[in-house]
A and B are shown apart, each in its own frame.
Chain A
Amino acid sequence: SQKIEQNSEALNIQEGKTATLTCNYTNYSPAYLQWYRQDPGRGPVFLLLIRENEKEKRKERLKVTFDTTLKQSLFHITASQPADSATYLCALTHGSSNTGKLIFGQGTTLQVKP
């Protein structure tokens, strides 16, 4: 069956360092991969989208990579700040789907310490 895995353990890093979060998937051929940020008690907020034919996407301090051979996406936050502390979700859409449906990973919680 289709499966998306994110690190279930929280990631704790020091302010100023680069945070790297992982999203792995199996039995799936996504056309698009998206990353969202979720704060406690709030809905997720869209951050970045990367297509299957793109290797890398950047937005300010954020960088996403997409390796369809390894079936993996990495999400990087450079020069991390305590305000970056949140749960980060990856989500996939199927190439043949025209419904906009997303399949979400369980999320990784990032804690940036000052």
Chain B
Amino acid sequence: DGGITQSPKYLFRKEGQNVTLSCEQNLNHDAMYWYRQDPGQGLRLIYYSQIVNDFQKGDIAEGYSVSREKKESFPLTVTSAQKNPTAFYLCATTGIYSNQPQHFGDGTRLSIL
């Protein structure tokens, strides 16, 4: 089945630790996005990538990093510089046209130990 796979579903981070969230897609979509969702808030854009080897900061990029070495993969690293990382992280993809809907994975819930 075509889709987006996020892993792990739950992740725990210790103080001073970097953690990486995985996002893999087999929809052959060019654009990929990372969002953060906090309770009672909308999705906020962290980073996005429209093409391999290129990515752009979103509205809340500080404390996060990404890479896009393959079309299928867009991993997100939550660094120790992100002081409030507890949230629900969502990865999405879309085709080349800006009016196309986004397809989402089922998220990773990150908590602090």
Contact = CB atoms under 8 A, between A and B. Distances in A.
Interface of A: 4, 8, 31-32, 34, 41-46, 49, 51, 89, 93, 97-107
B90 A46 contact: no
Interface in B62-90: 90
B98 A46 contact: no
A106 B101 contact: no
Given A4-B42, A8-B40, A42-B107, A102 B102 contact: yes
Interface of B: 4, 6, 31, 33, 35, 40-45, 48, 50, 56, 58, 90, 92, 94, 97-107, 109
Contacts of A97: 98
Contacts, number: 68
B43 A89 contact: yes
A100 B100 CA distance: 7
A66 to B, nearest CB: 13
Contact of B98 (A45, A99, A105): A99
